[in-house]
A = this chain, B = another copy of it.
Amino acid sequence: MLLKVKDVDEVLDIIENNFIPGGKKTERISLLESLGRVLAEDVAAGCDIPPFNRSVVDGYAVRSRNTFGANEAMPAILKYSGEVEIGRRPPGGIRDGECMYVPTGGMLPPGGDAAVMIEDTERLNENEIAVYKPVSPLENTMGKGEDVRAGDCVVRKNTLIRPQHIGVLSSIGLKDVTVFPKPRVSVISTGDEIVEPGGELQPGQIWDINTYALASSVAEDGGCPVPEGIVKDRKDLLREKISAAVTESDVVLISGGSSAGFRDYTASIIDELDSPGVLVHGISIKPGKPTIIGKVDGKPVIGMPGQPVSSLVVYKVIVSPLIRRLAGYPPAHPAMVKAFCSENYASAAGREEYLMVNLEEREGRLYAFPVHGKSGMITTISSAAGMVKIHRNKEGLYREEEVAVILL
């Protein structure tokens, strides 16, 4: 099947329309391990929090009306009737004219409706406390259920769990939470010349880059990378590997094998495994044109460029939004800075180009310097501070033109 090269926006639409997150699978994990996961249910409180009226100061639990009108010259004198221990039921209630010592967080005794701070009192003798300042009803206390009422939803489904959510979930006594599983993303490298790092190189061989760069990118986006190793340039082997990966994972990334060369098996395998199979064959993006997007059993199977820089750019622009959406993550908002272009830079109109740049201040202005180097050099991206997107209607950048640099 012959497919026309498509614009980036068109490709993002195709991905959005074809791959809708909707797995009903969930998993139960420990609250302490839930940071960065996505909640799979509305969580409601099983009881009121706090579960009892409590004092928020060290002082005396009182009936507030017994303190009305009290001042330095005319304190209210109350009968001391014992002490509330923190974490325990009060030894009794208080009646009119009585008070009971209560520490911060202690349970307010029955009959008490407010707490006087200890600084505003004086112990006169074993039985009497002078109160020098009036308190109004509920003053210096937190009422049962004032923070959370039983049945209140405290964290909504689809929330990306942060420390403050973990805090409120523990406050209602949860030890475990139900989250969506991370999308499993198989990463397959292909090529007879590719060798696993750590191994010895023979003449003509190079070490695998894409498994490592792509797997870690997936992890950053909330996915669970599944490195599938290196597959030799044989269609039967690759077909077997892709087939198995589609069964086990939610997304399959295959790097290499998507140039126009005769080893281009990826597209035909995708078409053989399902129909329509290949949805996109070629994207008008530089670097990254020879990218294939297919659908097998409803799952995205993506042929990434073999060149590592192209592969990383395609990952960031095309694949990352997909993985984040499947993970239930919000869209990424990469940090950007404005800078002036250090030189004229020519670019062909009709495709979106990503130019790696470094940043340097010159006479108080921030400049973006294009990173020179042949396409495919991994150091052009590993040493860059950021990248500049050149819109497909533009034919390059002018010296001194202001550009937005997407920090890497």
Contact = CB atoms under 8 A, between A and B. Distances in A.
A317 interface: no
Contact of A164 (B104, B193, B213): B213
A399 interface: no
A376 B34 CA distance: 23
A89 interface: yes
A50 interface: yes
A203 B31 contact: no
A181 interface: no
Given A259-B104, A382-B165, A213 B170 contact: yes
A216 B173 contact: no
Q: What is the copy number of this chain in the assembly? A: 2
A105 B191 CA distance: 9
A197 to B, nearest CB: 5
A58 interface: yes
Given A86-B193, A216-B166, A198 B171 contact: no
Interface string A40-71: 00000001011110001010000000000000
Given A215-B32, A227-B32, A312 B205 contact: no
Contacts of A381: 164, 167
Given A148-B379, A203-B88, A197 B174 contact: yes
Contact of A191 (B86, B335, B379): B86
Residue among A105, A142, A164, A176 with the most chain B CB within 10 A? Answer: A164
A347 B105 CA distance: 25
A23 interface: no
A217 interface: yes
Residue among A34, A85, A104, A107 with the most chain B CB within 10 A? Answer: A104
B216 A35 contact: yes
A52 B203 contact: yes
A103 B261 CA distance: 7
A312 B374 contact: no
Given A213-B166, A408-B164, A87 B204 contact: yes
A292 to B, nearest CB: 16
Contact of A51 (B50, B174, B206): B206
A378 B198 contact: no
A4 interface: no
Interface string A154-179: 11000000111111111111111000
A263 interface: yes
A209 B381 CA distance: 43
B261 A58 contact: yes
A142 B374 contact: yes
A204 B308 contact: no
Contact of A379 (B90, B147, B217): B147
Given A105-B306, A163-B213, 15 more contacts: A32-B212, A35-B219, A49-B206, A89-B202, A104-B261, A106-B193, A148-B379, A162-B216, A163-B312, A166-B212, A168-B379, A168-B382, A170-B213, A173-B197, A176-B198
Interface of A: 31-32, 34-35, 47, 49-52, 56, 58, 84-90, 103-107, 142, 146-148, 154-155, 162-176, 191-194, 196-199, 201-217, 219-220, 227, 233, 259-263, 306, 308, 312, 333, 335, 373-379, 381-382, 384, 408
28 contacts: A32-B212, A35-B220, A51-B206, A56-B375, A58-B260, A87-B192, A87-B193, A87-B204, A104-B306, A106-B193, A107-B203, A147-B376, A148-B379, A155-B382, A162-B220, A162-B408, A163-B216, A163-B220, A166-B216, A167-B209, A167-B308, A167-B382, A170-B209, A171-B378, A173-B198, A173-B201, A173-B207, A175-B198
